[in-house]
Amino acid sequence: MREKTNRQMSLFDLMHKSTIAKELKAISEILDHTPEVLDAVHQDLLQGRRDDTGRNGMTAEQVLRCAILKQYRELTYEELAFHLENSRAFRSFARLEMGFYPGKSILQESIKSMIESTWEALHRLILEYAAGAKIENGKKIRVDSTAIETNIHYPTDSSLLWDGIRIMTRWMVEGHKLSPQPAYCFSDHRRVAKKRSMTILNARKKETRVDAYRDLVAVAQKVCGYALEAIPVLGKYNNGNFQDGCTAHLLAQRLERAMRILTKVVDQTERRVFKGETVPASEKIISLFEVHSDIIVKSRRETEYGHKVFFTGGASNLILDCIVPRGNPADSDQYRELLTRHEEQYGTMPRKISADGGFASKDNLDFAKEHQVKDAVFSKRRGLGVLDMAKSNWVYKKLKNFRAGIEANISTLKRRFGLSRCTWTGWRGFRRYVWSNVVSYNLLVLARIELAKA
C-alpha cells in the first residue's frame, strides 16, 4: 500500500554543512510547514492504480521532494537517480530509507503523476507560508511575460515532411514484425525522402528547391496512402496474443494521428511553396510531436516556438503567480486577469503595480485605478501621463526601476532552473513543467531568506 509520509526517520540521516545542504535543510523545513499538499500528491499517485496490491512504492512525500530536487538542481532523471544513491544530503532531503535506491524509470513515472493543480496548490501554500513569516504581503508587485520553448527542432516544411515520412514508415515496419504479418503493403521511401530534404536545405536555386519539394510531397502522399490501408488492418488485428493485439492497436492510433498531421503539412507546403500564399500562424503545423506549440512573435526579436508565460513577482523576489495561455495573446490582454488572480490569492488588490511597456493601455490603467490600485506604472508610457499612473515623478521612477527586477527573476528561472526550454511532453506536461519550476524557485528564494536571517 502506498503511503503519504515516512513512519520514522533514521538516526543516521544527517545533512552536510555545505551551502547546498543548508539550502536543502531550509527547504525541507518549509515543506514540513505545508503537509496539506501531500494529500493531493497521494491522490495523484493512486490515480488509475489499485492501492491494495503490489509493492508499496515511493511515498507521496518522497515523490514530492525528489521532484523538487530534480528542478532545484536541473537534473535529468538518470542524474537524479545517481545523486539519490550517491549523496547523503540528497537522500536525507528526499527521506529515503536505507537500502532503497529508486531508478530513473520509477522516478519519472512517479514525478510525472503529479498534475498541474497539485503544483498550483503547493504554490499557494508556499505563498501562505511567506505571508505568515512576513516575507511577502503582495502589496507591491511587478508583471512581465516571456516565451518558453517546447522541445522541438526549428520547423521548416521539408523537415516536417521528413519527420512524418520517417516515423510513419517506422511504425508500419514495426507492424510487419508481428506474427502472423498484417495484410497491408507499403514501400520504404525514407532514403529518397532524406535526399530530397537535404537537397531543399542546400539548394541555391529556387527551381531546384521547388522540384525537390514536389518529389518530397509526392512521397508524403504515398506514405499517407499506405497508412490509410494499414490503419484498419492494424485496428482489427488479433492473433490471440494480448500483447501483440495491444501493440497493433497502438500503432493504428499513432498512424491515424500522424497521418492527419502530415496531411495538414502537405497542404501548407502546397500553399506556401507552390502557390506562393502566406499561411496564417494559427493554421500552421510546426511539429508532429508537440502539436500544442504556438508561434511566438515579440516585436523585432526572433520568432520562438513554444508558449507565452506571464509572471507576477513580488518585492521579495518570489513569483506570486503565472499564467500559461494558448496562442500568442498580447501582453495588454492579460493585465486584468493577472490583477484579478492576485486579488483572489491575497483578498485585495495590490497598492502598487509596475508592468512592462507591452501591458500599457488606457483601459488597463483605468481598470487598475478603479480597483483601488494607487500607483499603476508601465515602463513605457505609450501616450499615458506620468501623474496619471503614479502620484509623483519620483514614485514613477522608483516603480519603473522596481519592475526591472522581474527580468532577473525570469532570467534565474531560465538559466538556473532550465525554464528556457520545456523538456516534458504535451500541453499538460508543459504546464506541469512551468509550475514545478516556479515552486522550486520559490522554495529556494524562501530558503535563502531564512538562512540570511539566521
DSSP assignment, residue 153? P
The closest alpha carbon to 442, from 319, 315, 338, 313, belongs to 319
**Angle (deg, nearest 10), helices 19-32 and 60-72:** 140
**How many residues make up the chain in this entry?**
454
Using alpha carbons only, what angle is made at residue 453 by residues 316 and 31, rounded to the nearest 5 degrees?
A: 70
148 three-state secondary structure: strand
What does the alpha-carbon distance between residue 373 and residue 340 come to, in Å, rounded to a whole number?
A: 12
Residue 321 pairs with which residues in a beta bridge? 312
- Report the distance separating Cα 136 and Cα 122, nearest Å: 16
Question: Would you say 262 and 220 are in contact if contact means Cβ atoms under 8 Å apart?
Answer: yes
Handedness of CA 281, 287, 291, 297 (dihedral sign): negative
How does DSSP assign 231-242, residue by residue? HHHHHT---S-H
The confidence score (pLDDT) of residue 12 equals 47
Contact 410, 388 (CB under 8 A): no
Q: What is the pLDDT of residues 382-410, one digit of tens each?
A: 889 999 999 999 999 999 999 999 999 99
Q: Say whether 246 sits in a helix, a strand or coil.
A: helix
- The parts of the chain modelled with pLDDT lower than 50 are 11-12
Residues 338-393 have pLDDT tens digits of 999 999 999 999 999 999 999 999 999 999 999 999 999 999 888 899 999 999 99
Q: Are 237 and 174 in contact (CB under 8 A)?
A: no
Angle formed by the axes of helices 60-72 and 104-111, nearest 10°? 100
Please name the helix (run of DSSP H) or strand (run of DSSP E) that holds residue 431, with its range, or none: helix 426-453
CA 324 – CA 331 distance, rounded (Å)? 12
Most distant CA atoms of the chain, gap in Å: 81
For 118-152+292-427, which CATH superfamily applies? Ribonuclease H-like superfamily/Ribonuclease H (3.30.420.10)
Phi and psi based region of residue 116 (left: phi greater than 0; alpha: psi -120 to 50; beta: remaining): alpha
Which residues make Cβ contacts (< 8 Å) with residue 288, sequence separation at least 6?
Answer: 160, 163, 164, 167, 258, 261, 262, 265
How many other CB atoms are there within 10 angstroms of residue 96's CB atom? Answer: 22
Domain boundaries, the chain: 19-114, 118-152+292-427, 157-283
For 439, left (φ over 0), alpha (ψ -120 to 50), or beta? alpha
Q: How high is the pLDDT of residue 48?
A: 65
d(CA 81, CA 109): 13
What pLDDT does 65 receive?
Answer: 96
DSSP line for 172-228? HHHHHTSSSPPS------HHHHHHHHHHHHH--SHHHHHHHHHHHHHHHHHHHHHHH
C-alpha cell at 295: 508561434
Question: The pTM is what?
Answer: 0.91
DSSP letter (8 states) at residue 161: H
Q: Look up cell 511553396; give the residue.
A: 273
